[in-house]
Every structure is written in structure tokens, then in C-alpha cells.
Amino acid sequence: MSLYEDKDGTKGIRRQTIEDGGYIPNVAVFLKRTAIEFLQVLFNQREPGSLHYDQDDTKSDILIADIHAVDMKAVGVRPAIIAVRGPLNWQDVGIGSIERRDMPTGNYTISGLLNGSVALSCISREGIEAEQIGHLVFNSFKMFRPILQKYGLFSIKSLNIGAETLVEQEGADDRTTIVPVYLNAAVQDRWIMDDTDARKIQKIIISYLYEAKV
């Protein structure tokens, strides 16, 4: 998947075809991955000792990661922002989703919108710190929304910040506070359908349906 810009200046996400030497990306994690990388860059700009993020865990003041890529035992030892993807759906934006056809090659450009959500759990042993992290995350997406949208990464539909929640684990002193931030966004999705491959697939489907009826 790569960022592209049309002649009219329109930007979006393009999926490369197999023939281009590309691959089919896991679009289900695209929003979550982009949100994580955005926050990692922002918190990396903070001074060490003040919620500074560093790729080197031994130097980082805060964990910023996917829930499946972090040791949950480490969460609570220091502040963290843990991302969890919500439902994702694809929306057709044109007649039959075909945006245009390249007459010389016969290839189709197909477009749509990916709508999804990401929950960002801001975690700390201190309630005030968890609130502060949640405030930073919420306002960062709000303030940088035009920049993210300019480069085709996000069209943020809504943001909301949840109430502070105290989580007690085993042991009376083992407590963490979570402040969730919910991000709902859309990503423009475009890919190229090779005409030869399309006809092959059509032939296979028709053949299968015919055999199923016989």
C-alpha cells in the first residue's frame, strides 16, 4: 500500500497489484497502525522525563503499542497508550465502486472508503497522569486533523474521551487508572484491478456457478 497523488492533487492510499511486485496489505490494522505511529512521533518530541517516547524501551518514559505487541505485565509499571482496533467496514462511493477505466490497458481503478475506529487506552498508576495523557492524545488528533487529512491518512469523523476508570488487580496496592480515547475515522481506499485477472476471475465464478446448478 502506498500514498499516491493524482494529477488533480487528490491524495489517497493505493494498493499495488501483484503484477507490480506488491502485495495485499492487512487493511484491518491500517487505522490502528497509523494512529500508533502518529502518537509515537509526537511523544518522541517531548523531553526525556516528561512522557518522552523512544523506540529503545530502556530509554522510553511511556509505552505506545498495539495490545497484541506489548507485554501486559509491563503496563502499569510505567505509563502507556495501548491501541485496540474496533469494527472496520468498507463503503462503496461510486456506481459499482469503479472510479475509472484505463482504455489502453483495460485496467479498472476501484475506490471506496474504509470506516473504522480505534480505542486508545491511556494508562497510569496515577489518575491525574492518565487524565493528562488522555488529554494529550485527544487534543493531538484534534489539532493535527488537517495535516493527517491532507496526506490522505485520516478523515477523522469524531473523537471522544471517556471517564477515568480505576482498575484493581491482585493486591491492594496494585492499581492502574485508564482513560480511554475513541477515534472514528475514514481512509480513502483505491486499488487497481488488472483486466486480464478480472476476466479470469469472472470465468472461474461463472464456471463454478454453472457446475453448481448441474
- Per-residue pLDDT tens digits of the chain, which is 214 residues long: 444 444 445 444 444 443 444 444 566 677 888 899 999 999 999 999 999 999 998 899 999 999 877 666 666 678 999 999 988 887 766 555 665 556 555 576 666 778 889 999 999 989 999 999 999 999 999 999 988 887 666 788 899 999 999 887 655 456 789 999 999 988 777 666 665 665 666 677 777 676 666 5
Q: In the chain, where does DSSP find H-type helix?
A: 30-44, 127-143, 145-150, 195-213
Residue 67, class by beta-carbon neighbours within 10 Å (0-12 exposed, 13-18 middle, 19+ buried)?
middle
Closest CA relative to residue 31, chosen from 73, 77, 88, 93: 88
Assigned CATH topology for domain 2-213: STM4215-like (3.30.2000)
- The predicted model scores a pTM of 0.71
**181, amino acid identity:** V
Domain ranges of the chain: 2-213
Task: Report the distance separating Cα 26 and Cα 82, nearest Å.
Answer: 20
| C-beta contacts of 65-74 below 8 A and 24+ residues apart | 65/36, 66/29, 66/32, 66/33, 66/36
Locate cell 482498575: which residue?
167
